[in-house]
Homo-oligomer: A and B are copies of this chain.
Amino acid sequence: MVEQSMDGQARPRRSTLTDVAKLAGVSPSTASKALNGRSHVRAETRDRVLEAARQLSFSPNSLARGLLAGRTGTVGLLTSDLEGRFVIPILMGAEDAFGEGAVNGFLCDARGDTIREQHHVQALLSRQVDGLIVVGSRTDPRPSLGQDLPVPVVYTYAPSEDPQDLSVVCDNVGAGRLAIEHLISSGRTRIAHITGDPGYGASQERARGALAALAEAGLPVVGEVRFGTWSEGWGRAASAMLLDRHPEVDAIFCGSDQVARGVMDTLRERDRAVPDDIAVIGFDNWTVLSTNARPPLTSIDMNLQELGRTAAQALFDALDGSPRSGVEALPCRLVIR
C-alpha cells in the first residue's frame, strides 16, 4: 500500500461549512447565517463562527451556492480567434468589469471553427454560465448563436447578423470622419487614403466615414481610396504610386498602423518630411508600431478596453432584467503623437 503522504506534500483538505460549524460548536445553518451577516445570530456566536472560519481559512463552495441560487457568477468569453490582436484588450476590459472575483470568465477560443464554437457553447451552458460574451476577430457581422439559449448573449467587436441580438461595436465610420476632420483642422487640403483589404467591413466603413467628411468640407480625395492588404509592404507600394501620380498630396490617412509604417518608410526614402511636408495618420494605435515609428505615429484608438467593459456591463444589464437589442457603436479616439 502506497503511503500517499510520504512526500510531505499532503495538500490541505478544503474545509466546509460543516467543519466551521463543528469547530464553533454550532449548526451549519447558524454558521451560514453568521458568515453571511444574517440576523438571528447573537454577536458572541457570530464572532465564534468568524474565528473558526478564519482558523480553517474557509471559503464557501461556489458550486453548491450556485446550484442553489441558480446563478453562478460566471460568464463565457467566446472568441473566434485569440491570436487576433483586437481580442485581448476587449477581454481585459470585460475582465475589468467583472470585478475582483465577483464574476469570473471562462476563456474559449473557437479558432474560427463553427463546430468547435458549438461545442464550447454547449460546454459553457452545462457549466451553468449566467451569460455569454462573443468576441469577433473582424468587424464584419457574424452568424447569431440563436434566440433559444437559456442565457443572454452580447456580441462585441463583430456584431451579430440578427438585429434581435445585442451587439456592441466600434464606430468605424465615425473613426474615418475623426481622422479626416483632424487633418483638415490642421490645415491639410490634399488628403489621400490608403487602407487594407477591401473585403473587410472595417476598411469599407472607415473609407466611407473619411469620404463623407471630405465631401462635407468640399474637398476631393487625392487619387482614389487605395485598398490592398493590411501590411507594411502594401503601405510602401501604395504610397510610392500615390507620390508618383499625386506629388501634391499633403496628408495620408492610413487604414492601419502597419500600412502607415510602410507609408512612412517610402516617405523617408523619398525625403518627404513627416509631418511638415506630409502628415500621416494611422489606425489601431498599436503601440509597438506607432510609438517606434519615426516620428511617433498619430493614430486612431478603437478604445477596445472600453468596448469590453461596455459589453460586460450590457450583459449585466440583461441579467438584471433590462435586455437591449440592436447594434450599439462606441466612438473611437484620436491619439496625437
Residue A104 contacts which of B92, B108, B150 (CB distance < 8 angstroms)? B108
Q: Does A123 sit within 8 A of B, measured CB to CB? A: yes
A165 to chain B, nearest CB (A): 11
- Contact B231–A292 (Cβ < 8 Å): yes
- Write the nearest CB–CB distance from A284 to chain B, whole angstroms: 11
Which A residues from 277 to 305 make CB contacts under 8 A with B? 288-289, 292
Q: In whole Å, how far is A41's beta carbon from the nearest beta carbon of chain B? A: 22
Residue of B nearest to A100 (CB): B119
Contacts of A72 in B (CB 8 A): 63
A59 in contact with B292 given A12-B148, A92-B82, A106-B106 (CB within 8 Å)? no
Report B-chain residues with C-beta under 8 Å of the C-beta of A232.
292
Would you call B82 and A101 a contact (CB within 8 A)?
no
Bound: A301/B313 CA distance, A: 38
CB pair A233–B151 under 8 Å, yes or no, is: no
Give the CA-CA distance A74 to B62 in the complex, in Å: 13
Which residue of the partner chain B has the closest CB to A61?
B128
Asked if A306 is at the interface of the complex by the 8 Å CB criterion, the answer is no
B11 touches A149 (CB 8 A): yes
Q: Does A125 contact B (CB under 8 A)?
A: yes
Tell whether, in the assembled complex, residue A151 and residue B88 are in contact, meaning their CB atoms are under 8 Å apart: no
Q: Please tell me if A109 contacts chain B, counting CB pairs below 8 Å.
A: yes
Q: Give Cα distance in the complex from A292 to B11, angstroms.
A: 50
Q: Closest B-chain residue to A58, C-beta based? A: B126
Q: Of all chain B residues, which has the CB nearest A70?
A: B14
Cα distance A100–B122 when bound, in Å?
10
Are the C-beta atoms of A125 and B14 separated by less than 8 Å? yes
Q: Is the CB of A128 within 8 A of B62?
A: yes
Contact sample, A vs B, 13 pairs, CB 8 Å cutoff = A11-B148, A11-B150, A12-B148, A13-B150, A14-B125, A14-B150, A61-B128, A63-B72, A82-B91, A82-B95, A101-B119, A101-B122, A107-B107
